[in-house]
Chain A
Amino acid sequence: MSVIIQVKNLAKSYWRNKIEIPVLQDIDLEVEEGEFLTLMGPSGSGKTTLLNLIAGIDKPSSGDVLVNGTDIGKLGESLLAKWRSSNVGFVFQFYNLIPVLTAYENVELPLLLTKLSRSERKKHVEMALNIVGLGDRIHHYPKQLSGGQEQRVAIARAIVTDPVILVADEPTGDLDKTSADEILTLMERLNKEFKKTIVMVTHDPHAAERATRVVHLDKGDLVVEPS
């Protein structure tokens, strides 16, 4: 299998009141196509920062992030936005659905940036919602759905554009155990059945068990990378 994500000498610092706070130092990481990688570590270890850098929603202080051959650290804001829309699917801890839009409309959002016709968009949205098992909830608003259902809508929104990679930040962090299991099963299915490359941040060891590989971070360093 080919390497789809390459992280080289990556470092990231933030500035607070003129003081530099290093978050990640000298990170090297490769993720193969079709892999389900979990980033684990305690709070403040830099796992979400690393995920954000891989997903192109933050810029590295130094080093490179190559996804599917594109050095995303070198893309300008506008190109990066375009790149994200076609290459990355996002799943957040708090779902981040737009409350005034129905499940259908939320999933349709990323497709509005494509040249697909209305009927083509409809086909894609229905397919994505069917994959996550919410084909019968398309006209429901987020507030009419349970937490688990909301997260499934978020997953449908993440996969509707058929992205190269799927990134998930604590996707089960706000869910009860049953809903969390359902979400993890769904993600496992997306990885195995639909061959999606997934990078997931979690601090839950049970969630990490679903992954094909686990990477540990501590204080901004990659500490363990079991094969």
Chain B
Amino acid sequence: MKVFKLIFKNILRHKLRTILTIIGIAVAVIAFGILRTVYTAWNVGVDAAAADRLITRQAISFIFPLPYSYKEKIAALPGVSNLSFATWFGGVYKDKSQFFARMAVDDETFFEVYPEFSLSDDEKAAFQKERNSCVVGESIAKQYNFKIGDLVTLEGDIYPGTWEFVIRGIYKPKFENTDATQMLFHWTYLDERMKAESPGREGNVGWYIVKVEDPLQSAEISTKIDALFKNSLAETKTETERAFTQGFISSTGAIITAMNILSFVIVGIIMLVLGNTMIMSARERTREYAVFKTLGFSAFHLTGLILGESLLISALGGGLGIFLTYPIINGFAQVIPKGFFPVFQVEPITLILAISAALIIGVAAAIFPIQRALTTKIVDGFRFVG
């Protein structure tokens, strides 16, 4: 008979209690996994940000546009290898719940500065040829069953009117964290209609995307860009794409921070659940531990027995939780609108944290029962009435 067999037999003493504890841990691990996945999904844009891209936006706020005329001046700066621009379009497709990013972009340069948006040469050529054409990401193409040649009609809100687009390309994400939920169309299409329908709103872009030759020069180039437009009507703020994305999501920072904290609170709850089970088990076995000690079992042996039991329960609960987290997250990914979380999957860091949490919980829950078992004198253990 080995110690592991005894540990295994011990966890089966109160089958219902053990099963409920394992389920409790599994549910908590699933909740932890979901919260962490939402947290990582929220930050995926930050993680996907390229080191060699800068974003130049209006200094006062992201919502104010910049003149198109800045393009040449920025592009002429030393160290700038490419330049593109984009404008947030917004709009409604079918109804307001059908959310995905829609942007007017520079058809010539956008796919050069975003090489992770993979588009075939034929599709790119077709897109560039037609003024009201658009390109959609693979994820929303799948979600809405979009095909090349389909007509997409948007109802404008920031830019009023009915807008019709023909799909001429479906881009594929090059990396796992590349957003494949965007709809991109010609900025010139938007600009020409503004010129015709809303004079005064033409000639503006949302932000510039500046590709730099050397990421180490990002700070210097940012300063130079902003200096170019100092004291102008539209001063600029240039920052790395990562900083820009972080700033973009900072408005929801409190919720995300709360979610992050909550995920660790859940770890604390699991610790209490398992701790309670282990304390009850150890208390019931006070007399048995006295027997073990009497027979010559050392503190090391008793620690092994209690810690092993705690770790086995936490491993079973944690394992079950992790195993179930994947299909549940996949289920969530199917239900939530694609545009909200372009990448919604269990990240390796979530898995590592869940496994670490299960191990830490297993150890932490055993500390008090071990301390109690080791410090209770044999004679007191025999007198104990549970």
Contact = CB atoms under 8 A, between A and B. Distances in A.
A84 B288 contact: no
A99 B6 CA distance: 11
Contacts of B287: 96
A223 interface: no
A72 to B, nearest CB: 13
Contacts of B297: 81, 85, 113
B1 A101 contact: yes
A150 interface: no
B9 A84 contact: no
A157 B382 CA distance: 18
In this complex, which of B12, B292, B296, B382 has the most chain A Cβ atoms within 10 angstroms of its Cβ?
A: B296
Contact of A98 (B3, B12, B291, B379): B291
A100 B296 contact: no
A108 interface: yes
A84 B295 contact: yes
B120 interface: no
A82 interface: yes
Interface of B: 1, 3, 6, 9-10, 12-13, 287-288, 290-299, 377-379, 382
A101 B291 contact: no
Given A57-B379, A58-B378, A81 B293 contact: yes
Contacts of B378: 52, 57-58
5 contacts: A78-B298, A81-B298, A96-B287, A101-B1, A113-B295
Contacts of B377: 58
A112 interface: yes
Interface in A102-149: 105, 108-110, 112-113
A83 B12 CA distance: 32
A81 B296 contact: yes
The 4 closest A-B CB pairs, nearest first, are A85-B296, A100-B9, A57-B378, A96-B291
A98 B290 CA distance: 11
A36 interface: no
B6 A101 contact: yes
Nearest to A118: B1
A90 B1 contact: no
A39 B290 CA distance: 23
Interface of A: 52, 55, 57-58, 77-78, 81-86, 90, 92, 96, 98-101, 105, 108-110, 112-113, 157
Contact of B10 (A57, A90, A96, A100): A100
A84 B379 CA distance: 14
A101 B9 CA distance: 8
Contacts of A101: 1, 6, 9
A86 B294 contact: no
Nearest to A112: B1
A105 B294 contact: no
B1 A108 contact: yes
B9 A57 contact: no
A90 B294 contact: yes
B297 to A, nearest CB: 7
Contacts of B296: 81-86, 110, 113
Nearest to B3: A112
In this complex, which of A52, A58, A81 has the most chain B Cβ atoms within 10 angstroms of its Cβ?
A: A81
B378 to A, nearest CB: 4
B295 A100 contact: no
A90 B295 contact: yes
A86 B13 CA distance: 30
Contacts of B288: 96, 98
Nearest to A97: B291
Contacts of B290: 96
B1 A105 contact: yes
Contacts of A112: 1, 3
A83 B294 CA distance: 10
A109 B295 contact: yes
Given A101-B1, A112-B1, A92 B382 contact: yes
Contacts of B9: 100-101
B200 to A, nearest CB: 83
A112 B296 CA distance: 10
A120 to B, nearest CB: 14
Given A81-B297, A101-B9, A112-B1, A58 B291 contact: no
A57 B383 CA distance: 13
Contacts of B10: 100
Contacts of A81: 293, 296-298
A116 to B, nearest CB: 12
Nearest to B381: A57
Contacts of A58: 377-379
A115 to B, nearest CB: 13
Contacts of B299: 77-78
A57 B13 contact: no
